[in-house]
Amino acid sequence: MIEVKGLVKSYGTKRAVDGVTFSVRRGDILGFLGPNGAGKSTTMKVITGYLAPTAGSVTVDGIDVTKDPVATKRRIGYLPESAPAYGEMTVTEYLNFIADVRGFRAKDTRLAQVERAIGLTHLESVRRQTIETLSKGYRQRVGFAQALLHDPPVLVLDEPTDGLDPNQKHEVRTLIRRMAAEKAVILSTHILEEVDAICNRVIIISQGKIVSDETPEKMHARKSGARLDEIFRQLTLSDA
């Protein structure tokens, strides 16, 4: 579903992403791990078409994101970091706007999509509240609902469980796992248990380069008995 080849993104002279290559298939839940500033978010922003790559290519469903960005954006559901949304709108107004832009123009199909997204993310109780009055957890769920609304084949989630309490984290993980069979999912995190809990592949990125790409089991096997965060420290510090 997603092919990233030799991706480079520079800000001035600094290379935030430096030659990253990987692919994600349907059914994959890829955990994107790395220290802060390693290039996780930047990579996701290029995949979703928000930033243009300096070099290399990204294709989604065989379509190059720089050649036909609107077509690839249709196939992607994206939850940006800290889930930005138009705070002055109510949850229902906001999701109706997203559905409208996503091409659900007929009133009944639009409402059906909005109801589905609200149901999936359990937003029924706050649907008439403006987003700016919601707690962090609910705001994150609104971002989730927005990403899921058009039932996209590709989900890109930037720190989806950031700022949630343990119950909410569990709920979000269950939701991701339930949907994953027919989707390609990329999620970034710096919470290592999360990788163990839901991902079936892990990429560790450090200073813009991939330092490991394997299953969580294989990673554990690298150093038997070691905890994931020890392996993480070893991989990302040795590179520094």
Partner 1 sequence: MSQIVPLFRREFLGYFRSPVAYVFLVAFVIISVSLAFSPFGGFFESNDASLRVYFSFYPWLFLFLVPAVGMRLWSEERRTGTIELLFTLPVTCLEAVIGKFLAAWAFLNLAILSSLTMAFTIAYLGKPDWGVVLSTYAGSILMAGGYLGVCSLMSALTKNQVISFVLGLIACAALLILGFSGFTATLESILPVAAADAVANFSFSTHFEGFTRGVIDARDVVFFLSLMGFTIFLNVVVLDR
Among residues 5, 74, 190, 209, which is the contact residue for partner 1, using CB under 8 A? Answer: 74
Nearest-angstrom CA–CA distance, 15 and 120: 38
How far from the centroid of its chain's Cα atoms is residue 23's Cα?
A: 15
Q: Does 139 bind partner 1 (CB under 8 A)?
A: no
Nearest-angstrom CA–CA distance, 141 and 123: 7
Q: Does 22 bind partner 1 (CB under 8 A)?
A: no
Among residues 31, 35, 80, 160, which is the contact residue for partner 1, using CB under 8 A? Answer: 80
Q: Does 76 bind partner 1 (CB under 8 A)?
A: yes
Contact track, partner 1, 29-68, x by CB under 8 A: ----------------x--xxxxx----------------
Nearest-angstrom CA–CA distance, 197 and 169: 11
Q: What CA–CA distances, in Å, run from 193 to 120, 127, 235?
A: 24, 32, 17
Cβ atoms of 156 and 44 closer than 8 Å: yes
Residue 80 or 160: which CB sits closer to partner 1? 80
Contact track, partner 1, 91-130, x by CB under 8 A: ------xx-xxxx---------------------------
